[in-house]
Amino acid sequence: MSVSEPSDRLLTGARVATMVPGGAPYGLIEDGAVAITDGHVVWVGPATEAPCARRREDLGGRLVTPGLIDCHSHIVFAGDRAREFEMRLEGASYEAIARAGGGILSTVRATRAASEAELLAGALARADALIAEGATLLEIKSGYGLDRDTELRMLRVARRVAAERPVRVRTSFLGAHAVPPEFAGDAEGYLDAIVLPTLEAAAAEGLVDAVDGFCEGIAFSPAQIARLFDRAAALGLPVKLHAEQLSNLGGAALAADHGALSADHLEWLDDTGVEAMAAAGTVSVLLPGAYYTLRETRVPPVAALRAAGVPMAVATDCNPGSSPLASLLIALNMACTLFRLTPEEALAGATWHAARALGLDDCGAIVPGRRADLAIWDVRHPAELAYRIGWNPLAARIFAGETT
């Protein structure tokens, strides 16, 4: 691409992992340069061919990747579930704790009692941890309010994260996360009285970018999720689903049939689900932090997803119960070690495919026209990002073209 005007900023001396698929592994350019103007990449290629720029910076051989994207998180919540961690170590299962009124519902009690300021403080602490490892875009869900006021409060807090920090946020409405105690045994009643009207209100306030649900024996049935998705479609909102995490209810195929952006977790996904996702172009979002924390023994069918060409994203699922993990780098490591992704697949899962899981094509790769949301790392090779554990090599982060 030729650039007639000098660009604002040129990064040289860079090893650039563009993450554009189909060429070199990681889309790697060994001695590369990236030109940025008005917050966007305007040129990327070999340093010897770089266009002129008003400002040049030599990165001394550091690695540049797209800013990381956490496409599945629950970072707005109050309280903690350390006691449940102890109970699980004493032998109680995640489902048994949930059925006894703990689990998600214990976080619901704490979240309902928390002010907007308290929720924001907690969310910012977790967002800061993700940002410190190069994240430039976070998906954030509601789902710990399960009443109108608290669900709306959670979504407002999620929006405020983007106002308070140099990070982009995409929100997902997850009113269908669990059935609250006041509707115990009446998921249908809860759906009609709270979930659907709150979704309408949240959408009217511009608080919702996508609609999510939890399709599981301890949560909502496929028929109930289908009703939720129909309402989302009527509002023009994309859908996604927590599916096949603890059992196989056919949630992934249901999501695919509704044109879902993604189906997430997927430990119990079967061939029918894989085929439906491939046909619909639904992204699989793998969440190894939840698999690890719950000591699951079934891994998602990675080989089948790969063979069918289903894109695989990787995310933290950061939440107080099943995945108290605020590190995308550790999620990448777990995706490799536990799920046998290659380091390249894992990194693509937190960049290229994560963008697609959010329905975005303006980020997740270093390509002219996309946003200049970048991470600069003190490593030689991109495989190092997934290889290390608890060792943050981020040297700098660029958000909308500015070092932040």
Q: Residues interacting with ligand DI6, by CB under 6 A?
A: 103-104, 107, 177, 214, 242, 245, 290, 317, 319-323
* Cross-strand partners of 81: none
- Rounded CA-CA distance 196/263 in Å is 21
- Least Å from the CB of residue 340 to ligand DI6: 21
The DSSP code for 331 is H
- Least Å from the CB of residue 214 to ligand DI6: 4
Choose the binding region for Fe ion from 6-14, 46-54, 253-261, 310-318 (rule: CB under 5 A): 310-318
Q: Which residue is nearest to ligand DI6 (CB)?
A: 321
Pick one of ligand DI6, Fe ion, none as the site partner of residue 102 (Cβ within 5 to 8 A by kind).
Answer: none
Pick one of Fe ion, ligand DI6, none as the site partner of residue 327 (Cβ within 5 to 8 A by kind).
Answer: none
Show the tokens assigned to 296: 């699951």
* Cross-strand partners of 171: 140
Q: Which of 337, 353, 351 is nearest to 292 (CA)?
A: 337
Please check whether residue 375 is in contact with residue 15, taking contact to mean a CB–CB distance below 8 angstroms: no
Nearer residue to ligand DI6 within complex by CB, 104 or 263: 104
- Least Å from the CB of residue 23 to Fe ion: 33
Does residue 317 interact with Fe ion by CB under 5 A?
yes
Nearer residue to Fe ion within complex by CB, 53 or 285: 285
Q: Helical H runs in 100-221?
A: 104-113, 116-131, 148-164, 187-190, 196-204
- Least Å from the CB of residue 107 to ligand DI6: 5
Pick one of ligand DI6, Fe ion, none as the site partner of residue 104 (Cβ within 5 to 8 A by kind).
Answer: ligand DI6
- Rounded CA-CA distance 180/145 in Å is 9
- Least Å from the CB of residue 144 to Fe ion: 11
Does residue 216 interact with Fe ion by CB under 5 A?
no
Buried b / exposed e across 39-77, counting CB within 10 Å, b at 16+? Answer: ebbbbbbebeebbebeeebebeebbbbbbbbbbbbbbbb
Cα 330 to its chain centre, rounded Å, is 14
- Least Å from the CB of residue 172 to ligand DI6: 11
- Least Å from the CB of residue 343 to ligand DI6: 24
Instruction: Report how far apart the first and last C-alpha atoms of the chain are (Å, whole number).
Output: 27
Nearer residue to ligand DI6 within complex by CB, 97 or 385: 97
Does residue 244 interact with Fe ion by CB under 5 A?
no
Q: Which of 247, 233, 237, 287 is nearest to 264 (CA)?
A: 287
What is the dihedral sign for C-alpha 379, 385, 387, 390? positive
Nearer residue to ligand DI6 within complex by CB, 7 or 319: 319
Please check whether residue 2 is in contact with residue 363, taking contact to mean a CB–CB distance below 8 angstroms: no
Choose the binding region for Fe ion from 57-65, 144-152, 312-320, 344-352 (rule: CB under 5 A): 312-320
Nearer residue to ligand DI6 within complex by CB, 27 or 103: 103
Site of interaction with Fe ion (CB under 5 A): 317
